[in-house]
Structure 1
Amino acid sequence: MTQANTMAPAAIRPGPDRFVVGLALAGLVVLGGLVWLETAPFLLALFAIGAVLGVALYHGAFGFTAGWRNLVTKKRGAGMRAQLLLFALAALIMIPILGSGRDDVIGAVAPVGTSLVVGSFLFGIGMQLGGGCGSGTLFTVGAGNLRMMVTLLFFIVGAVLGSIHLPWWLDLPAVDPISLIDWVGVPGAIAVQWLGLGAVALWVNRIERRAHGDLERTELRLRPIEGSMAKALFTGRWPFLWAIIVLAVGNALTLVIGGSPWGITFAFNLWGAKALQGLGVDMGQFEFWNWAYPAQALADSVLVNIPSVMNFGLLLGAMLAAGMARRFNEASRQTPRGRPFLAAVVGGLLLGYGARLGFGCNIGALFSGLASASVHAWVWFACAFAGSLIGVRLRPWFRLPN
């Protein structure tokens, strides 16, 4: 009887999903080997960084979409404050690197104009209907979410359409890229970014205090709410602060190793264009795919394209994390139908189209843009949040919970 009682907990204790974990590890090894054979070792390092970022995004549940929606619908700002803290830490690390005079690194700096405003606004709507931003779509797909697979497919379609139309949008009124590093130097750029982020944090706190009288403080915890730190490390959920540190350091390492900050959505452009090219479509007929970087990326293997390699790592890292937590495919075990399916289609198209017009997603345009002290990132932030407000109000019609 005593032996039976001793053995019972071990028998029912949930452990890793060995099949999913094994598949993820095999994918990491095989794809990592192909990257090693195809390219210089630095890309293998970026592939590994992508995998770690995927683990952090999954275990930290660090999706921008839910954080924005919770502020609007529940008047709770923990997710938003975590994002602002992430931006502040990344700016502190990356602005000095970009302002050091090195000629082997370049920031995520883009023009401020019609294309940016329209693209980021559409992206904000799309992230609420599609259910995720660029990074959120990827890590949830890696974790086996079937609905997000639909979103990703149409994200790619929208991105290719956006690339075809982008030259027309860029002919509309715009201001040349503005780098705060060039205007006020490294200390001044950090100060401006921190003051701006602090102002947004005060606004978020005011909304939450007016609604609830207090603030959630979970994003500042170093220890997990439940269980040991070791258990949380492998099975989640991580405190926001753990994910913040990993994501900020990961972006800085991407900048130093790859020469530019972390970006996600150009890879979607490339994957869609290569698929069309494989079907016999001449992508050279479109101006965007004759520009130097897109044309070179289209001619090369995806295993030498930094955003693609990092995205592959992110997908497999999230899959590994979901397998370790035994939560792979936990969010959706059935293919979405009806209005939720339509929301994934429409949301994906808006995400892809908006990301191309807006020079990236929450990662490439917002996170990396703010860490690069680019003015365009603030415009992107405001317009995408405005679009997100509309997306939140459209969700009930699509039978999506708020």
Structure 2
Amino acid sequence: MALPSSAVGRSTDMPLQRPTLPNVQTGIVTLALVAAILLSFTIWNGYGTQQTVLYGIGFLLGYTLFHARFGFTSAFRRLLSVGQGAGLRSHMLMLAVASTLFAPILASGFSFFGNEPTASVSPVGVSLVVGALLFGIGMQLGGGCASGTLYAVGGGSSSVLFTLFGFITGSVIGAWHWDFWTNHTPSLPPFSLAENTGLGYGGALVVQLVAFAAVAWLTLWIAKKRRPPAMKPLPSADGWKRIIRGAWPLWGAAILLAVLNAATLLVRGQPWGITSAFALWGSKIASYLGIDVTQWAYWSGERGAPLEASVLADATSVMNFGIILGAMLASAASGAFVLRKLRGKVVTASLIGGLIMGYGARLAYGCNIGAFFSGIASFSLHGWVWVIMALIGTYIGLLFRPWFGLSNPKPDDSVC
């Protein structure tokens, strides 16, 4: 099966008309606000200020992700299918801002709650390569990455509920197999561009900024060669109302996501991550069903402590809950919260994609957020390896999408 031809595409010379913005879904807005406030009070009352602040950051992340429809899956798909690199350029902007903010935080060791900030730096080995490759395939079948899955759930996407179920299940299986992949396959030690090269954080920042600029330039060069279709405009209000209703520009969301990730590092002492919570949720369920997950190497030592505590005591979990509710509020305010009837093939693809992503994320020390975004912002080599392998996996995933009735962008589309 071949991908769509890279023959010269059709560019849009006239400005594309922005679709009409639907009415506010008042009932869903009320439900999202009430749920968000109640959960916030529960977290603050039982787990303190730090955990509540992290929940609030998660809420803002979800709100931002949905408003901009900021995705990794679609950005990779558009780039490889038709050469549309606007999404990847927004990633480079996000990484540039995040790296600039992370560098002084990590260099100084400053944080708000006394936890010394720790960079997200992981080994580079077979586990990472296989996991990232699988994650790239799974993204294209599951209809979203880790962050995309959460904000799509909050936005009312029916199919992504199956992706989330598969994601959690795959994460548990990955935790079960974690010892083999991380301890019994070839691997190099963690490598920081700042601390293992003698460059320091200032020098590493310069190197990464040059790399981000080079990637952005490459996407423009590809676009010049392939003439991709224009990005479809999303419904949006005008003026200040756009903050509440409708689409945000990708560049604005990229900057805000970088700032919020830096805030996470300052508050939590660790950068933003998502998928470790899926492994925790699924393992708790497995324990309830009689499976002794404490015997797995993944849950040995300090990592096993969350199994005995409430999920509200887990920072990643409360941020994930915040993402879902923040996206729910944003989608309802824009009139976009809609549950749709699903086709069997789409459900199957969502389950398979979620399983592959969950498994891959455990092998690769994270997902598009924990490994790609936070890894590169932390100056870790593993983040760069992750994105290369995820792009290769994306190409493979695009070949499988038509098997499940899922379409890929084509060069002669008027928009993509």
Distance 1:392 1:215 in 2: 18
The equivalent position to 2:60 in structure 1, one of 39, 48, 52, is 52
Unpaired runs of 5+ residues, structure 1, are: 1-11
How many Å apart are 1:218 and its aligned residue? Answer: 10
With 241-250 and 120-129 compared, the bigger mean Cα shift is at 241-250
How many Å apart are 1:230 and its aligned residue? Answer: 1.7
Partner secondary structure for residue 71 of structure 1: helix
Contact 2:58–2:319, Cα closer than 8 Å, also in 1: yes
Structure in which a larger fraction of residues adopt helix: 1
1:216–1:99 distance in 2 versus 1, CA, 3 Å: farther
Q: Provide the TM-score with structure 2 as the length reference.
A: 0.88
Q: Within 5 Å, which residues of 2 pair with 1:7-156?
A: 14-102=22-110, 104-156=116-168
1:6 counterpart residue number:
none
How many Å apart are 1:82 and its aligned residue? Answer: 0.6
2:226 counterpart residue number:
211
Partner secondary structure for residue 244 of structure 2: helix
With 51-60 and 95-104 compared, the bigger mean Cα shift is at 95-104
Does 2:380 align with 1:374?
Answer: yes
Listed one character per residue, the Cα deviations across residues 258-290 of structure 1 (whole Å, up to 9, x for unaligned) are: 010000000000010111112222211212112
How many Å apart are 1:54 and its aligned residue? Answer: 0.4
Amino acid at match of 1:359: Y
How many Å apart are 1:215 and its aligned residue? Answer: 9.9
Q: Provide the TM-score with structure 1 as the length reference.
A: 0.91
1:326 counterpart residue number:
335
With 119-128 and 39-48 compared, the bigger mean Cα shift is at 39-48
Listed one character per residue, the Cα deviations across residues 179-198 of structure 1 (whole Å, up to 9, x for unaligned) are: 11212101111011112222
Listed one character per residue, the Cα deviations across residues 153-208 of structure 1 (whole Å, up to 9, x for unaligned) are: 00000000001101101121111111112121011110111122222222211111
With 390-399 and 254-263 compared, the bigger mean Cα shift is at 390-399
Contact 1:77–1:216, Cα closer than 8 Å, also in 2: no
Amino acid at match of 1:66: S
Distance 1:132 1:316 in 2: 17
Listed one character per residue, the Cα deviations across residues 59-116 of structure 1 (whole Å, up to 9, x for unaligned) are: 0010111111111122211111111111111101112211224571101110000000
2:346 counterpart residue number:
340
How many Å apart are 1:14 and its aligned residue? Answer: 4.8
Q: Within 5 Å, which residues of 2 pair with 1:178-193?
A: 178-182=191-195, 183=197, 184-193=199-208
1:393 counterpart residue number:
399
Unpaired runs of 5+ residues, structure 2, are: 1-19, 409-416
After the TM superposition, which segments of 4 or more aligned residues of structure 1 sit over 6 Å from their partners?
214-219
Contact 1:209–1:215, Cα closer than 8 Å, also in 2: no
Does 2:279 align with 1:269?
Answer: yes
With 96-105 and 242-251 compared, the bigger mean Cα shift is at 96-105
Contact 1:122–1:354, Cα closer than 8 Å, also in 2: yes
Distance 2:55 2:147 in 1: 15
